[in-house]
Chain A
């Protein structure tokens, strides 16, 4: 199993550009999450999904959009990139939420907006 994979690893965007961060998992997990981590800080939840077709906002959803058309994929869309979105983005997945089970994280995407 590859676990949770993310692409790209690194990207530089100009202000106002858009891009999609890709996330895929091969563990058949129902729950998937997007976090951002600013330098020296903890992780903040952007969006999460409890299954295909169902998504919900986290702590910091503004400026982002998500979709979940399959169990495996959970892309994160930035429509109008801003310098404040410079961060490292982590995707994670878990089998269920209700028992606080392990979240499996991807390697991250480092995004720089100039």
Chain B
């Protein structure tokens, strides 16, 4: 599985757009990029997944440049309830020994 690097923490204000970038220089051809969100005292929750270009759902957008060595999770018009830890994961898991690895994630703090 490709190693990922993302900022440890970010602050933003309500109503702003927040972009969290994840670096994954060793991403393999068949790897997907997946983001999870974890609220305090809860388990992680799947947000979005993509392979290339742009993916959008009701929660977020995911931008992936052509070289796929990084990706950006975009949260439009955040609110206080978006305060959470966001994890970037990269991999394909084609082999039984492959394991999903959650790093420390990015701790996003939304201010009023």
With A56-B96, A98-B94, A100-B34 as contacts: A42 and B42 at CB distance below 8 Å: no
Interface size on A, residues (CB 8 A): 27
B104 part of interface (Cβ distance < 8 Å)? yes
Beta-carbon contact of A100 and B96 below 8 Å: no
Q: Is the CB of A108 within 8 A of B96?
A: no
Task: Give residues of chain A (30-64) contacting chain B, Cβ–Cβ below 8 Å.
Answer: 33, 35, 40-45, 48, 50, 56, 58-59
Number of B interface residues in the complex (CB < 8 A): 24
In the assembled complex, the Cα of A108 lies from the Cα of B41 at a distance in Å of 8
> Does B76 touch A at the CB level, under 8 Å?
no
Are A103 and B49 closer than 8 Å at their CB atoms? no
By a CB distance below 8 angstroms, the chain A residues around B42 are 105, 107-108
- The residue on A at minimum CB distance from B43 is A105
In the complex, chain A residues whose CB is within 8 Å of the CB of B104 = 40-42
Task: Verify B94–A108 contact, CB threshold 8 A.
Answer: no
On chain B, the residues within 8 Å of A40 by CB distance are: 104
By a CB distance below 8 angstroms, the chain A residues around B46 are 102-104
A99 to B98: give the CA distance in the assembly, Å: 12
Whole-angstrom distance between the alpha carbons of A40 and B38 in the complex? 12
Cα separation A40 to B41 with both chains bound (whole Å): 12
Q: Cβ of A100 and Cβ of B87 under 8 Å apart? A: no
* Dominant secondary structure at the B interface: loop
How would residues 86 to 107 of chain B score, 1 for a CB under 8 Å from any chain A CB and 0 otherwise? 0101011110101111111100
Q: A59-B99, A100-B34, A100-B49 are in contact. Are A42 and B93 (CB under 8 A)?
A: no
In the complex, the answer to whether A42 meets B87 with C-beta atoms within 8 Å is yes
A96 to B81, CA, bound (A): 31
Known interface pairs A42-B87, A102-B49; 15 further A-B residue pairs with C-beta atoms within 8 A, sorted by A's residue number: A33-B100, A35-B102, A42-B102, A43-B102, A45-B99, A50-B96, A58-B99, A90-B43, A98-B93, A100-B32, A100-B92, A103-B46, A103-B100, A104-B46, A107-B43
Give me 14 A-to-B residue pairs in the complex whose CB atoms sit less than 8 angstroms apart, sorted by A's number. A4-B43, A41-B104, A42-B87, A42-B104, A42-B105, A44-B102, A45-B99, A45-B100, A100-B89, A100-B91, A103-B46, A105-B42, A108-B42, A108-B43
